[in-house]
Amino acid sequence: MTSTDYYAVIMAGGSGTRFWPASRKARPKQFLPIGSEVPMITATCQRLDGLIPLERILVVTSGDLAAQVLECLPDLPKENVLVEPVGRNTAPCVALAALEIERRSPDSVHVVLPADHVIQPKSEFQASLRAAAAEAQRAERLVTLGVQPTFPATGYGYIQSGAKVAEHGEFHAHQVESFEEKPLQQRAEQFLASGDYFWNAGIFVWKTSTVLAALAKFAPGILTPLQQAGRATGLEEIYPKLPATPVDIAVMEQADNRSVIPISYRWDDVGSWTSLPEVCPPDENGNCVTGGTTALLEDSSGNIVFGEGDTLTALIGVQDLVIVRSGDAVLVCPRDRAQEVKRVVERLGIEGAQFL
Amino acid sequence: MTSTDYYAVIMAGGSGTRFWPASRKARPKQFLPIGSEVPMITATCQRLDGLIPLERILVVTSGDLAAQVLECLPDLPKENVLVEPVGRNTAPCVALAALEIERRSPDSVHVVLPADHVIQPKSEFQASLRAAAAEAQRAERLVTLGVQPTFPATGYGYIQSGAKVAEHGEFHAHQVESFEEKPLQQRAEQFLASGDYFWNAGIFVWKTSTVLAALAKFAPGILTPLQQAGRATGLEEIYPKLPATPVDIAVMEQADNRSVIPISYRWDDVGSWTSLPEVCPPDENGNCVTGGTTALLEDSSGNIVFGEGDTLTALIGVQDLVIVRSGDAVLVCPRDRAQEVKRVVERLGIEGAQFL
């Protein structure tokens, strides 16, 4: 395979409130500088630099967010932004992008990846994508990356690996036995102990023809209307009627020709404020400061601080707090209650929608 | 006395860091909306409304702050802002203003008061000023208001009252026996128990001729140069050479013709963030929210929140914190460590002067 065959699809249509007040309706997580000094979507593109040029990166997002995508990626060709009229989970997004890539390069291989993960280092990530591409071409495989678990996470889905089916340099490809939903604690511990289970990172690599064939077989209700619509024509009418199904369920759980490539470099989906220390090295007192703010810390430890731009955050004698200042809002809560941010967001829906 | 004889001098030259980050070098406490929804200096003027018109209110401040004074008091005649070339404590300020009032109305009575206190209610305050003015005119007295202490404060100076010398309606005037510095705890408790000691509120009422005579007698080193300079002429040269002395020491502690009028309405100099609950009624959970921010409080109690303008402050599960968001800075610290703000300010002098 020559490098001209590689495409990437970045899924950037997500919304979410777990990073409120930094993430807002109008600026979801993928536009925040989490894990680096640039927005996550920009870091996602930079992570492909040298492997896939911007001309062959498609970004799928909503109409509301398209302008922000181009602000974060000023060199991205405008025609590479695919706008979904409404969000319908990942299967329609994957199908829409695959059809567009098929038009441009029917023999291509492409990677599908979320815009809001932290992955390091770039070199190992790219090496794993090369291995995945080789596996995808070896025998028309639907390839997914499986992250070696480091603790019994209950917040991730898992991939059960089976027999090894191929080797690609340092990477091994295994048959996928099953996809597992987010487990309870005990089952997560069993997964970790077995060594056969990997976190589902939601990153896929396949030949464009392979995934389109799988969609035709397992999700014709998604693919056929999109094929009939043609690109950006009639999407407004078709899209809301498509089932809002994850590609994992619509395709991966149905197919047989699926491989998982275990990886052990750093991957994090940074699901909430309390995940920040995973991707932002804490200082000697366990304080994690990110977003660009200057921090002035006196006798404070274990805090997670996010502030944007040319601002100052001063802490005196506080421990284990999450402190976020973003735009017109400030959030202060203990780390172990950060998940209750969603309650605040719910209340705001009733009492203060301007701050959503 | 007719109302045309009343003047007021508002001392608004103060700087300070105890309310950082809301108070900055360029915006000291008197310009903050503490204790009401308007800046303290505006509230101070409004508190005189009906007793002394703006045309007869002088504001003494520094050149840096003069524009802000006029922003807060748009109807104040510009010539009523007296600019001190440098701050030299209150005695030169009092002398400068008395000379200006003498030029305008030699037979007047005037009140001198700080721009950054909270006093309520206005009606009782004005009644006490009327009584003080009557006492000032009764026998050329230097009159001060003494706040009935409600606890053994160690942060205020005290006035020891002696024999009653006059009655003015509901108010009594007493001879001042002595002025006492901020006491230690035990002495403060003795003061409180004795019933003869009152907090020194730094508010004075006197005939213009009385205070000028006292200055001539006890502080000629301040008054004479200012008389020679004439208004706003040569002040730049004279002012830095004046002794930086409080009027309490330069005049009040020396004089015999001094009266104190005890008052029992609400007075607070709001010396730090932890004083806010004194002037801003806490909610049922002991949270005190001020400055205009919208607060969204979940399972939080005893917090002091200051935020300006159209902002949101969301707290989840935190207790007894001071949380301030102002301009480009955020401060979070426990209530009982709020005095350490000065350490932050000291560090900023070295590390981040832009945030001072």
Q: What residues have CB less than 8 Å from A38, skipping those under 6 apart?
A: A46, A72
Render pLDDT for A302-323 as a digit per residue (tens, 0 to 9): 999 999 879 999 999 999 999 9
Average pLDDT over residues B313-342: 95
pLDDT for res B4: 47
Q: How many CA atoms lie within 13 A of A212 on its CB side?
A: 19
* ipTM exceeding cut-off 0.90 for this assembly: no
Distance from CA of A103 to the nearest CA of B (A): 48
Q: Do B316 and A334 touch (CB under 8 A)?
A: yes
Token pair for A237: 């009418």
Domains, chain A, ranges and CATH? Answer: 3-268 (3.90.550.10), 273-355 (no CATH)
Chain A's closest residue to B323, CA to CA, is A332
pLDDT for res B3: 47
Chain B's closest residue to A298, CA to CA, is B344
Residue A4 has pLDDT above 70, yes or no: no
Chain A's closest residue to B353, CA to CA, is A312
DSSP A79: G
pLDDT for res A1: 41
Q: Provide, as residue numbers in chain A, all residues whose Cβ is less than 8 Å from the Cβ of B311.
A: 328-330
Distance from CA of B62 to the nearest CA of A (A): 27
A-to-B residue pairs, Cβ atoms closer than 8 angstroms: 117
In this prediction, residue B15 has a pLDDT band, given cuts at 50, 70 and 90, of confident
Q: How many whole angstroms separate alpha carbon A219 and alpha carbon A221?
A: 5
In one letter, which amino acid is B324?
Answer: V
Query: Average model confidence (pLDDT) for chain B?
Result: 94
Render pLDDT for B205-255 as a digit per residue (tens, 0 to 9): 999 999 999 999 999 999 999 998 865 568 999 999 999 999 999 999 999
Q: Give the phi and the psi of residue A27 in degrees, each rounded to 5.
A: -150, 80
pLDDT for res A230: 60
Strand A158-168, strand A81-84: pairing: unpaired
> Which strand (E) or helix (H) includes residue B288?
strand B288-290
Contact A26, A61 (CB under 8 A): no
DSSP A19: T
pLDDT for res A37: 84
Distances from the Cα of B298 to the Cα of A337, B301, B323, angstroms: 11, 9, 15
- Please tell me the pTM assigned to this model: 0.83
Q: What residues have CB less than 8 Å from B2, skipping those under 6 apart?
A: none
Render pLDDT for A176-205 as a digit per residue (tens, 0 to 9): 999 999 999 999 999 999 999 999 999 999
Q: Do B352 and A296 touch (CB under 8 A)?
A: yes
Q: What residues have CB less than 8 Å from A66, skipping those under 6 apart?
A: A81, A83
Q: Do A331 and B318 touch (CB under 8 A)?
A: no
Token pair for B279: 């002037």
Average pLDDT over residues B52-75: 96
Q: How many whole angstroms separate alpha carbon B58 and alpha carbon B6?
A: 11
Residue B93 has pLDDT above 50, yes or no: yes
Between B71-75, B110-114, B177-181, B343-347, the lowest mean confidence (pLDDT) is in B343-347
Residue A99 has pLDDT above 80, yes or no: yes
